[in-house]
Structure 1
Amino acid sequence: MNSNIFKVPLIGLITSILVSCSSGKKALQNGDYDKAVYTAINRLKSNPNKAKAKETLAKGYDYALKRHLARVADIKLTDDVFKWEGILNEYQSINSLANAVGDCPVCMEAVPEPQKFIAETSDAKYYAAEARYNNGSKLLLKKDRLDAKNAYFDFEKAEQLYPDFKDAQSMMDSAYYTALLRVVVEPVQVNSRLYKLSNQYFQDKIYEFMQNYERKSFVKFYTPQEAQTSKFRFDQVLSLNFDDFIVGQTYVKERIEDIKRDSIKIGVTKDSAKRPVYTTARGKLTTFEKTVTSSGLLDFQIKDINGKIITREKMPGTFVWKDSWGTFKGDERALNDNDKILLNRREGYPPAPQDLFIEFTKPIYDQLTYKIKSFYSRY
């Protein structure tokens, strides 16, 4: 039997046992008082009679409480605008320790009266929210996009800290609209002398992507029609145009090869030895391979409202449709299984030009959406 099979599970089991048996003393010695408390509590829940764990819990809780309160006092003396968030974290840590002790009856013997700072926590939430609200209000007065964006996050944080704080939700909405970058997206133009092609599929996919992107950003995209009826001032124009494209370029390749197959048994000798009789089969296999290539080049541009190009890129896309079939002259015994499959096929018809157009725009769509996400991530 291979003993290595049990090594990894055994090591994991031993480690688990050592961790579960820890009283938290090492964490206490390293000054990680919160960890020492939680480790001791877990140990006492599994074995209430562990004296070392009780001793560690008592010392660890006392040290942890003093440290958190000392940090509260230190933070209050700073000039940090958002210091109440740090104070809140300390009070919440103290309350979490008290709750953990309270959920363990035997732990109450080591820490009979764990302290909670409920009122102080509530006050800290209020003051922390107020600091965020005040800072956001100051930023919003600057009438700058970046400042408005930061103001939005301040109002959002205020709401998280203290739900329904003043009119933080309304201020958050104001900040969002001030920070918003408004972009007019011109439709893709498709001009072809040979085919009447529709870009509707490609256009719909782009608009769907942009709508999803808007929900997670400070960018909003508008159609030209929406822009005409809107009262807003726009910041940029995004245009998409095919510089060149070709649909259905067809190429057929013909290959003729002599094939043969040896050692084909055709019977046995007529003598008493009955030795097998073999022959060789030969023939000419003609293979046809048809490729229909469609490709295009999309010109992607973003301009500012004055027509100055901010970024520009050419995005290529290609789709190749393939088909193959064959013919044969000669002894069919020379054919292998793949040859027979090929001969059973007939020349197929390629997709319609509209479908070929859609297929070569798919890799362009992937490039385009990546570029849009990359470019507008800075906003």
Structure 2
Amino acid sequence: MKFRPLLFAVFIVVLSSCSSGKKAYEKGDYYGAVVKSVNRLKQKPDHSKSKETLKGAYPLALQSLEQEAQNMLASNEMFKSRNTINIYNRVNELYEVVKSSPAALTVIKSPKNYYSEIGPLKEKASEELYGAGITAMMKATRRDSREAYFYFKECEGYTPRYKEALEMMTQSERDGTLTVMYEESAYNNWTSSGNFIRQLDEIQFIELVNKNIAVTQMGRKFDLNMLVSIQNYSEKKPVITKKEYELIDSVKVGEKVVNKVKVPTYQTIRGKYIENKITVESEGTISIVIVDPKTGNKVFSDDFRGTGIWKDTWGTCSGDQRVFSKSQKDACATSTPRPDSQALRKQAMEDLDKQVYSRLSGFLKNY
């Protein structure tokens, strides 16, 4: 018997999927063995090997997770209630997986869940997280305040309105936010820092305020002052390259009689096609200096160079017009293109935005 290549490939895939649950079981991955076996039974409810694997893997997966939960509850782990909830959730996931397959339910008739046990643990988990948040806040550093924010946020997820977790979350986010007052000086108004400033301001724990607005916020102090100097912009001279093509063809011009037989006569035609390419590059620069207002020290200084490139082509035709293709004729009918200064400026701006955002986002996040 011969297999066609496609049928043979399908056979191999099916064979592999049949044994994947068993392989997971043999490796001690009982959780994975249950999931893979059930998925196989959804495709083929009478698959005996999957039923056999499921029958052996489910009790072992359940036993392993229950033992892990008991050990966690008996430990001195800081977040043992939260961690136990996560373990119970894995038991519940197996419960839902088995329940999703009628064939699997013929093997595991009463899958176990821990939904009712999770409820009482949620308040304990909130207590753990709330305490960790308070401890982090008391360290009074920006980094610890950010850590506290996520503790309080997770606390609220388990028990909404737990103590003052919501208020503490708001306060820790405020304490963890780096505030930056910025101003910019422009050269010939060729660009603006608006794009990368807006992107940076969207990052959590970073707030940028324009100096013009900052002066109206009497008494407010900022962590950093940033000067954005938008400097030179220039476009280089166009670079034009040419490539010549000598074209030779023949066309029918009539007929003549040879030995009383009409035969076509041809004429050789010639032409020259020149492919012209024009390239223009642009360049713009921005200088950024960041100072710590408390010490007056310069903490960041860098120059950025953004570039753009514009290209176009046109053709030059000479000689017999019949020798040229339609595309060549169209190219020759095009006048010499003029550089698109607007596109060149936009490209240089976008390149600068990308560079500045990449560099500053990392610096400000870790400052």
Q: TM-score, normalised by structure 2?
A: 0.77
CA contact (8 A) 2:225 2:291 kept: yes
Gap regions ≥5 residues in structure 1? 192-196
Note the C-alpha offset of 1:161.
2.5
Matched, 1:366 2:354: yes
**In the superposition, relative to structure 1, how do residues 184 and 286 fare at CA in structure 2: closer, same or farther (>3 Å)?**
same
Work out the CA distance in 1 between the residues paired with 2:126 and 2:28.
32
**In the superposition, relative to structure 1, how do residues 274 and 68 fare at CA in structure 2: closer, same or farther (>3 Å)?**
closer
Note the C-alpha offset of 1:315.
1.9
Pick aligned residue for 2:314 from 324, 328, 349: 324
Matched, 1:209 2:199: yes
CA contact (8 A) 1:57 1:111 kept: yes
Q: TM-score, normalised by structure 1?
A: 0.74
CA contact (8 A) 2:99 2:105 kept: yes
Matched, 1:153 2:150: yes
Secondary structure, counterpart of 1:229 in structure 2: coil
Number of aligned residue pairs? 361
Q: 1:233 corresponds to which residue?
A: 221
Identity %: 22
Note the C-alpha offset of 1:133.
0.5
**In the superposition, relative to structure 1, how do residues 188 and 322 fare at CA in structure 2: closer, same or farther (>3 Å)?**
farther
Work out the CA distance in 2 between the residues paired with 1:96 and 1:327.
73
Work out the CA distance in 2 between the residues paired with 1:303 and 1:313.
15
**In the superposition, relative to structure 1, how do residues 32 and 283 fare at CA in structure 2: closer, same or farther (>3 Å)?**
closer
Q: 1:345 corresponds to which residue?
A: 334
**In the superposition, relative to structure 1, how do residues 376 and 6 fare at CA in structure 2: closer, same or farther (>3 Å)?**
farther
CA contact (8 A) 1:245 1:296 kept: yes
Note the C-alpha offset of 1:56.
7.0
Q: How does 1:219-368 map to 2 (within 5 A)?
A: 219-230=206-217, 231-247=219-235, 249-251=236-238, 253=240, 259=246, 261-269=248-256, 271=258, 272-282=260-270, 290-305=278-293, 306-322=296-312, 324-326=314-316, 328=318, 330-351=319-340, 353=341, 356-368=344-356
Work out the CA distance in 2 between the residues paired with 1:110 and 1:254.
76
CA contact (8 A) 2:289 2:301 kept: yes
Note the C-alpha offset of 1:175.
0.6
Note the C-alpha offset of 1:157.
1.5
Pick aligned residue for 1:218 from 196, 205, 211: 205
Work out the CA distance in 2 between the residues paired with 1:356 and 1:42.
55
Work out the CA distance in 2 between the residues paired with 1:367 and 1:164.
42
Q: Which amino acid aligns with 2:131?
A: N
Aligned-residue CA RMSD in angstroms?
Answer: 4.3
Work out the CA distance in 2 between the residues paired with 1:287 and 1:65.
73
Q: How does 1:68-217 map to 2 (within 5 A)?
A: 68-94=65-91, 120-187=117-184, 189-191=186-188, 197-199=189-191, 202-211=192-201, 213-214=202-203, 217=204
CA contact (8 A) 2:179 2:222 kept: yes
